[in-house]
Structures are given as structure tokens and as C-alpha cells.
Amino acid sequence: MAKGLFGSSLMKKFWMALTGIFLITFLVVHCLINAMIFFDDGGMTFNKWAHFMGTNLIIRTMEIVLFLGLILHIVDGLMLYFQNRRARPVKYAYEKASASSTWYSRSMALLGTLILLFLILHLYHFWLKTRITGLTVEPSHIFFDGHRYEDLFSEMKFVFKHLWVVIVYVLGCISLFWHLLHGFRSAFQSLGFNYTKYKSTIAFMGDAFSVIIPSIFAAMPVALYTGWIQ
Amino acid sequence: MEKGMNLKLKIWRQKNTNEQGKIVEYPVSNVSPDMSFLEMIDVLNDSLVAKGEEPVAFDHDCREGICGMCSMFINGEAHGPNRGVTTCQLHMRSFKEGETIYIEPWRSEAFPVIKDLMVDRGAFDRIQQAGGFVSVNTSGRTLDANAIPIPKEDADKAFDAATCIGCGACAATCPNGSAMLFVAAKVSQFALLPQGQVERKERVLNMVKQMDEEGFGNCSNIGACEVQCPKNISIEVIARMNREYLMANVKPEN
Ligand code: SF4
Ligand code: FES
């Protein structure tokens, strides 16, 4: 059965699409919660939500599923990448690839690697500190309404004090934009949704999603660095 | 008629499958803009033979865009710069005077070079043999195909898929070296018709299995194949094959 689930080229493609769509839904949740910082209330709303995400049992279970999904997406992607390289051992002396496809659709492995590099730094900045080592900022907790909350908002301000970090985050978002621009519609094609009647809707949704979500993400470090949000 | 065109050709020369090949440069002159691309190579070959050199080996048969033999990668594109045509339907008026033209064979692990520009596309035959057919009982009272009612839209879609000539441009163009457009066209052609229902599920399973065994790459929906396909087959057929494959895996028996 394991061979049946991963063995064929088409099965690898389905897993790529399924994990991709799963990661897309994660991006929506992550983006909505982080966008709470734009209430500009000193991080009050954001910290409450971050507390919920860090303590709710269902969310914490989903966090494990998320990591598994991410790993599957990466491993599957690497397998596809190396198999595809073997499928054309001798390269063309002259290849005009731009005549028939976009550069980003041909560069999903590269874009994925860039996103992964960003992700390692990102996990170090926030996941590691909230889940394992504790926050760097002092005091690491604040109180309101008689509850004790981790001050993740102040941690964000602390992390985004450095210009190079802001630049790396923005570059990560740009890589994500290109990756999604192909990945979103590609996932639906892989799952077989390419009836003429859905095609333009999916393409439009994919383009809009690829622009909106990474832009909101990129605005966060920029807003905190420039002091737009206090 | 005014004087013909002068061109610089950079052609892949390779003695046989095992020997190393290389790009060799040949000037050709007096090429009429009305010649087809293959006629232009004929002119070059005449001059090579006259000089006692080995002519460039290339595949061709019908020279009218229906056999799919004239596989050539011309100036970085399968079947050259024009859309919806094969190499034999490409004319020299599509090139500029003095232009340098690269001519290479299909590059794919599954299509070994036999000689110069000729490749062995036997992999496609084996995929076809794995399921690209319908078993029809021809003895006794056979049913006239025209007597079976088929919705017009399905008939049109099946016909569009059936126009695939098995040329291999899709696999040659695909940055992943994937043959999905070809296989999907063959699967779709039968999946849409009542005659194809009996073997519908095992067909898609067996053809995909054979495709993987031949060493083709994996589709990542780049879409270069549909742009370069001389029969303008849309990647919609690939989406259909994906659905067919998924369904066949969920419930393998018919
Ligand atoms: S799908 Fe198009 S490019 Fe591929 S083999 Fe058929 S005709 Fe040639
Ligand atoms: S020679 Fe038959 S298609 Fe070109």
C-alpha cells in the first residue's frame, strides 16, 4: 500500500497538492491571527489570540499535523526534483524555456528552498521561544483582566529591531508570493479540477491569494521596524 | 525569384546511441523561404553527399503533420518557433536571413538518440500497448460505432484528444521531462467514449505505470507542453487523467 500511495508519479503529485492546500489553509489562519497587531492596541488582542493558539489542545494537535504536512511537502518535492533531473540527463545546447512557460513555475524547488531557509530563521525567532526556551524580552509576561499572558507582541518588536531581519522576512514573503503564484492553481490542476468552468475562478483566486497573504505578512516586520505600530 | 536565404546551422551529430555526440556547424545557402524545414535539411544533405560527407540523419514520413516522426528541437523549441505545427509544416520564411539555427534531437532519458536527430520513441509505443486501446470483438455481428449515441460535447473532446500524433514534443519540451500530455490525451480519448468504459480503470492505471517505468519525469503543471504541442492539446486532458487515476485508485474494479 505504501508503494501505492507514494510510488507512482501521479500519487506524488496528489500528495504535493494536498499538503500544499493544507499549508495554504494554515497560512490563512496564521495571517489572520498575526494581523491582530494592526489593531495597534499595544498587542493586547494579538497576545490574547497567541495565548489561545499556544494553549488550545486542538490547535496544539494540529501543530503536529502541520509539521508532518510540511515535511511531507518538502520530502515529496525533493523526490520529484531529483527524479525529474534524471529524466533529462543530456541538456539542450539551446533551450528557449521562456517561450512556453514562466520562470517561477520552473523554479518551485528553488523558491521552496528559499522559503525553507527563511522558515528556519522564523521558527528560531518565534516557535522555539514560545514553545521551548521562553521569550527573550523582559518582562516576558503581562497581566490584564486578571490573566497572565506571554508578551509575544514585545518579542516581535524586539526581533524586528534589526534591519537585516526585516529584509530577510520580506524576501521570504516575496519567495512565498512566487511559490504560491504557481502552487495555488497547480494544486487544483493536480487534483483534477480543471473544468473549463472553474479554470478562470481558480486562477483568479490563486493570483489574489498570492498577492494578499504575503503582502500582509511582509507589512508586519516593516510596520514594527518603522514604528508605524507601537 | 530573388536569391535564397543564407543560414548558419548548428546541428547535433551523433554516430550511434553509445557514442558521444557534438554540435557541428554547417552553412547553407540558397534556401528558398517557401521551403519546409525538412526540405532545407534535404538541401544541406545533398551538399554533404556531394562532398562525400555523411548526411544528417533525421526522422520523417508524411511531411504533412500527421505521422509525428519529424521530432526536432529547433532554436530551443520543439518543432521550432511556430505554434500548432510540426517541423515538416514549418517554413523557412519563419526565419531571418543570416540566422543561426540550433537543431537538436529530443532530450529525454526515455528517448535514446539512435543517430544524429533521430530518437527511439518506442517508450510511447509501450505506453500505448499497456492500455491505449479498446478491445472490440470483431467476429460475428459487430455494432456500428455510429449507432451508439454520444453527446456532441464528449465526442468533440474525445476527438480533440485523439488528434495527438505521438510526436513526443510534450516530453521533449517539459522542463521535468514528463510525458503526461501524451499519456493523458490517450487516456482521455477513451475515457470520454462509451467504447472505452470497459477497460477504463485498468487503462489509466497501466498506462501511468508504464509511463513511470520508461523513466519520464513527473508533471508539475508547468504547462510548456500544451504551448509546444503541434496539435494544441490542452492540459485539461492532464486534469482529466488525474481524476481518472484518483478514481481508479479509490475503486479499482469497474
Ligand atoms: S500530446 Fe501533442 S506534443 Fe505530445 S505527443 Fe501528442 S501531439 Fe505530440
Ligand atoms: S513528417 Fe509526419 S508529422 Fe512531420
pLDDT of residue A144: 80
Q: Is the residue at B24 inside a domain?
A: yes
Q: Is the residue at A4 inside a domain?
A: no
Domain region containing B41: 5-115
Q: Is the residue at B254 inside a domain?
A: no
pLDDT of residue A3: 52
Domain of B48, CATH number, reads 3.10.20.30
Domain of A84, CATH number, reads 1.20.1300.10
ipTM of the complex: 0.90
Chain B residues in contact with A11 by the CB 8 A cut-off are 249
Residue of B36, B39, B59, B61 to mutate, ligand 2, most atoms within 8 A of C-beta:
B61
User: Are residue B14 and residue B50 in the same domain, yes or no?
Assistant: yes
Protein residue closest via CA to atom 6 of ligand 1: B164
Q: Is the residue at B181 inside a domain?
A: yes
Q: Which of B95, B115, B135 represents a domain boundary (last residue)?
A: B115
Domain of B161, CATH number, reads 1.10.1060.10
Residue A163's pLDDT band, with cuts at 50, 70 and 90, is very high
B205-215 pLDDT, tens per residue? 999 999 999 99
User: Are residue B103 and residue B126 in the same domain, yes or no?
Assistant: no
User: Are residue B133 and residue B73 in the same domain, yes or no?
Assistant: no
Give me ligand 2 centre to Cα B104, in Å.
16
| Residue owning grid cell 456500428 | B144
Q: Which of B90, B115, B140 represents a domain boundary (last residue)?
A: B115
**Euclidean distance between CA atoms A193 and A201, whole angstroms:** 11
Q: Is residue A134's pLDDT more than 90?
A: no
User: Are residue B132 and residue B216 in the same domain, yes or no?
Assistant: yes
User: Are residue B11 and residue B67 in the same domain, yes or no?
Assistant: yes
Residue A1's pLDDT band, with cuts at 50, 70 and 90, is very low
Return all residues near B16 (Cβ < 8 A) that are at least 6 apart. Answer: B114, B115
Q: Is the residue at A174 inside a domain?
A: yes
Q: What is the mean pLDDT of residues B153-167?
A: 96
CA distances from B8 to B96, B111, B188 (A): 11, 27, 42
Q: Is the residue at A3 inside a domain?
A: no
Q: Is residue A195's pLDDT more than 90?
A: no
Q: Is the residue at B23 inside a domain?
A: yes
Q: Is residue A193's pLDDT more than 70?
A: yes
User: Are residue B33 and residue B100 in the same domain, yes or no?
Assistant: yes
User: Are residue B15 and residue B130 in the same domain, yes or no?
Assistant: no
Q: Which of B115, B132, B163 represents a domain boundary (last residue)?
A: B115
Q: Is residue A4's pLDDT more than 70?
A: no
**Euclidean distance between CA atoms B50 and B54, whole angstroms:** 10
Mode of pairing for the β-strands spanning B100-104 and B73-74: antiparallel
B88-139 pLDDT, tens per residue? 999 999 999 999 999 999 999 999 999 999 999 999 999 999 999 998 777 7
User: Are residue B199 and residue B106 in the same domain, yes or no?
Assistant: no
Q: Does B94 touch chain A (CB under 8 A)?
A: no
pLDDT of residue B251: 81
**Euclidean distance between CA atoms B17 and B10, whole angstroms:** 20
Q: Percentage of chain A surpassing pLDDT 70?
A: 97
User: Are residue B138 and residue B205 in the same domain, yes or no?
Assistant: yes
Q: Is the residue at B149 inside a domain?
A: yes
User: Are residue B193 and residue B216 in the same domain, yes or no?
Assistant: yes
Protein residue closest via CA to atom 3 of ligand 2: B65
Find the residue in B nearest to A94 (Cα): B76
Number of domains in chain B: 2
User: Are residue B135 and residue B243 in the same domain, yes or no?
Assistant: yes
Number of domains in chain A: 1
User: Are residue B231 and residue B138 in the same domain, yes or no?
Assistant: yes
Domain region containing A120: 9-226
pLDDT of residue A2: 42
Give me ligand 1 centre to Cα B71, in Å.
11
pTM for the whole structure: 0.93
Return the closest-CA partner of residue B183 out of B233, B114, B246, B252.
Answer: B233
Q: Is the residue at A2 inside a domain?
A: no
Return the closest-CA partner of residue A186 out of A211, A201, A200, A203.
Answer: A203
